[in-house]
Amino acid sequence: MLDAAESVVSVGVRELCCRLGVAGGSFERAAGNLDQAARVKLSEETFRRVVEREGKAVLAAGEGEQLELDFAASDCKLTTAQGKEASRIYATCDGVLVPVTTQAEKDKRRASTLRKRRAKRSAGAGPRRPGRPGRLPAVKAGADQRYKQVYVTAFYDQEQTRRLVGVTRRDHKGLGKLLGREAARIRLRGADERVGLIDGAPCLRTRMERLPLTALGLDFYHLATHVHQGRLATFGEDDARGKQWADDLLHTARHDGYELFWEKLADWRGEQRRGGGKRQAADGLLNYVAQRQGMIAYDRFERRGWHIGSGPIEAMCKATTRRIKGPGMRWDSDNAEALMALEALHQSNLWEKYWTRALTHSN
């Protein structure tokens, strides 16, 4: 019956549901807004299913490469720091935790519903109505943890006016497939400069290194975070010498190259006595840096005018999860991914193209 009801929902109403469902604070409120704005009445449950099903259709359209982009990597042209014209594209990805419903929570809700039903029958609510099922319908299995990771990818130009944003709830192998597919969609190899930026997580690095990148960089903010953690462990919170040391070290990393940066780190490490955790903290920072040596080339990046921060992907992680991280919200992971896909569609400037295509196929 639900499928039959959704089949008569027009494309225009589906789009309104998605617009309001993604922007609203809850499906109940969004359904009320739909009634007030367009005089279209849908129950909260039907409204929710329309939005979630459309999000899954967006994911399927992306996997099938059914939405043609209006730009390619070779179109992202600019004048380089050397005064030459070239095309430049950035590639990045990150993982974000989303709140999901656990199996224990589903079992608890089911038990509560059954208790309420028994209480009504024992209170003389009358016999079961004809056609009403005697048992609760089967539901999807819940998660084993309260939060699950969803990967977000982004390809964008220097000014971030052209973007392609993707999401997947699959594991790191699924992330690799998404990156490869999105890179093919924008014809990544066609750009003269193909710059990757990540936070340094090994699983992200492994997948990014499979792309045909000109260079892969470590987000400067994440390096700075680790440097300041080392400062706190060895100098303390309020030591002015520690703050000066961290500022000087980061300036060296950014402008003077890896070798001098490493020398200063090694000298600092040699000053730490054994015991008390200071030597251990210093070793931890050196190991972190050494494992990412190939990604610490900020002097080269800045000479060529390349970004050294992964702010755009951090912004996309916030944008795609804004709707699903409200107070008390819990989701089935596939439905959370569907809502994120709708926001990713908007961030990729493909919203109108998707609905035009949907309208064409409905006729």
Contact 29, 50 (CB under 8 A): no
3-state secondary structure 143-192: ECCCEEEEEEEEEECCCCCCEEEEEECCCHHHHHHHHHHHHHHCCHHHCC
In this prediction the pTM is 0.91
Of 23, 26, 68, nearest in space to 47 by CA: 26
Q: Tokens 């007030």 map to which residue? A: 36
The CA-atom distances, in angstroms, between 199 and each of 12, 88, 192 are: 40, 20, 24
Residue 127 has pLDDT above 90, yes or no: no
Percent of the residues in the chain that have a pLDDT greater than 90, as a whole number: 81
pLDDT in tens, 82-100: 999 999 999 999 999 999 9
**Average pLDDT score, the chain:** 92
Residue 320 has pLDDT above 80, yes or no: yes
What's the CA gap between 121 and 125, in Å, rounded?
5
Percent of the residues in the chain that have a pLDDT greater than 70, as a whole number: 94
Compare 124 and 282 and report the one with higher pLDDT: 282
Q: Tokens 């992330």 map to which residue? A: 175
pLDDT in tens, 22-60: 998 899 999 999 999 999 999 999 999 999 999 999 999
Q: What is the pLDDT of residue 130?
A: 53
Contact 73, 44 (CB under 8 A): no
Contact 183, 91 (CB under 8 A): yes
The sign one gets for the Cα dihedral 34, 336, 328, 106 is positive
What's the CA gap between 77 and 287, in Å, rounded?
38
Q: What is the pLDDT of residue 95?
A: 97
Per-residue tokens: 329: 């919200």
Contact 98, 321 (CB under 8 A): yes
